[in-house]
Each structure stands twice: as structure tokens, then as C-alpha cells.
Amino acid sequence: MKRALTFFAAASLAALIASGASAACGPSPDECEIPNGSYHIVMPDHAEGAKIPAVVFLHGWGGSGDGTLKNTGMVKAMTDRGYALIAPNGSPRLSRNGRAWNFHPDHRSDGRDEALFLRDLTDDATERFNLDPARIVLGGFSIGGSMTSYVACEHPDFFPAYAPVGGSFWRPHPVSCETPVRLFHMHGWRDGTVPLEGRSVLNGLQVQGDVFHAMQIWRTANQCTSQKPDVMVTEGEFMTRSWGGCMPGSNLTFTLHPGGHSVPAGWADMMLDWFEGLNAS
């Protein structure tokens, strides 16, 4: 179960994925099955011995875990730093291709309990691949970012930290969140798919939330005594605000990039710098 294969053919996808090792789990060399779903995983090279940190990254609407691995720049950035990348498969969409996440609290009754699925797959991967449960980040893009935000809000103890990109709460916004939360949210200034202020979709049946309001929810949850950030810094194209002097064990960091609906180049390293800084402190 813990066999690992490293592929070097330049034309193959696996070679492009961070020069990492695509871990075999069963009938399919790149898919791991658990009772309520499946996931893909890419291991860093030289992953023998010490326990390995990891990022669980949730795909967007209509995507898949396999599709996540096609973001080779992101995968390489993580595996080059010694992290495994876990790419879960969302729930199948009825009568449509691709997958999604059963994220919205008002529409969960008939679907998979995604938070429990993510906890179960992390437990499974931790046992199979010698991962370090104290160094696992849950992140995600778009709807995957929304799913990440809801898990962080409702079950902050499921993962050590959370990193949504281009996705947050939907309306009605949560009234409150559990604590403490350690969360790094990145969003595009020109995002028209998930605008910072949100928009209605599905002919108005669902309405995206306001990211700025989400920041207030997080500040309230973390018992921040000041609206003003402790840190405001611009690094290249990234503008970051951070609230660290709040509830012990919490952290809230919010970064804007100038682009649209995407995971921008540089996000992985920036997020891992943040996560490792939390552990160092």
C-alpha cells in the first residue's frame, strides 16, 4: 500500500507534478479509496523516515482531484518544500460531469458529510503515508475555498490551519464560528466569478457571500479587540493584512492579488510561509 513510483518522462503528467512520487493505493496507481470517497496524493521525493507535512487541496465546481494535479506549478511548489499534496474528489454532480462539494449548510441533508469525509481521508492518508497530523493544511479553490471556509468555521479542530483561495461563505452568512481559527484567505481583486462582494447564481437560488463580511465573522470568532490589522504589507503584487493579536492560538490573514478567479503563482509558497510561521511561533 505504501509503494511509490517516480516518473521521469517529460511528456507524462506525473513528471510535471513536482518531480514528486505519485503514490499507489490500489487498482488505480493514483487514486486512494475510502468508504465514502476517494483522493489522489503526490508525495515529495525522499519521503522516507520522518513524518511528512501535507496540504489537502479541494478542487472547484465541476473539477476533480485528478484535475487539481494538473496545476503543476502549485504541486511542484509544495513537494519541493517537502509537503505531500492530497487532492480529494468531491461529490458527483447529478446528471452532470465533474464534481462539487456539499458545502452550503442549507443544502446538506441529502448529500455526503464533507467535513467527516475530509477528516476520514486525512486519517487514512496519515496512516498510509506517514504524514504528520500536526502539520496538515486544508485549502481549496472557488467552491473548494467555500468548503474550506465552512469546515474552518464549524470544525476548526479538524485541521491545524485553513487556506481558502477565491471562495468564502455564501448568504446567509454564518452567525458565528467555532474557535480558535487559523486561516489564510487569498482573493483576486478582479475576480468576476466570485467577486469580493459576492453575486447571485442559479437564477438567484443561491447568493455568494461578501468576503469583507467574512473577515468580520473571523475577527469576531477570534475575539480580535481591534478592527485594525496588526500587519499591513505589500510584497510584489500581493497586499496582505493580518490579525494575530487576538484569541490565543488564532490567526487571520487576508491577501489580495490583482488578478481574477485563479490560484495565482506564488500562492503555495506564500501560504506555506504563513503556515510554517504559525508553527514556529
Q: 160: Cβ–Cβ under 8 A, 6 or more apart, which residues? A: 134, 135, 136, 137, 182, 275, 278
Task: Name which residue leads in pLDDT, 7 or 79.
Answer: 79
pLDDT, residue 276, reads 97
pLDDT confidence tier of residue 28, bands split at 50, 70 and 90: low
- Between 252 and 46, where is the model more confident? 252
CA atoms within 13 A on the CB side of 173: 16
Q: How high is the pLDDT of residue 244? A: 80
Percent of the chain with pLDDT over 70: 89
Domain boundaries, the chain: 4-280
CATH match of 4-280 with 3.40.50.12140? no
| CA–CA distance, 240 with 189 (Å, rounded to integer) | 12
Instruction: For the chain, give the mean pLDDT.
Output: 89
Whether the per-residue pLDDT at 14 is higher than 80: the answer is no
Q: How far, in whole angstroms, is CA 236 from its chain's centroid?
A: 23
pLDDT at 111 over 50: yes
Q: Could you read off the pLDDT of 218-270 as tens digits, one per residue?
A: 999 999 999 999 999 999 999 999 998 799 999 999 999 999 999 999 999 99
Q: Is the pLDDT of residue 13 over 90?
A: no
Question: Are 101 and 91 a contacting pair, CB within 8 Å?
Answer: yes
Dist CA 266 CA 272 (whole Å): 10
Hey, which of 41-55, 151-165, 193-207 has the most confident mean pLDDT?
151-165
pTM across the whole model: 0.91
Average the pLDDT over 31-35 and give the result: 94
**Sequence-ordered strand ranges (E) for 18-104:** 21-23, 32-34, 37-43, 52-58, 84-88, 91-92, 99-100
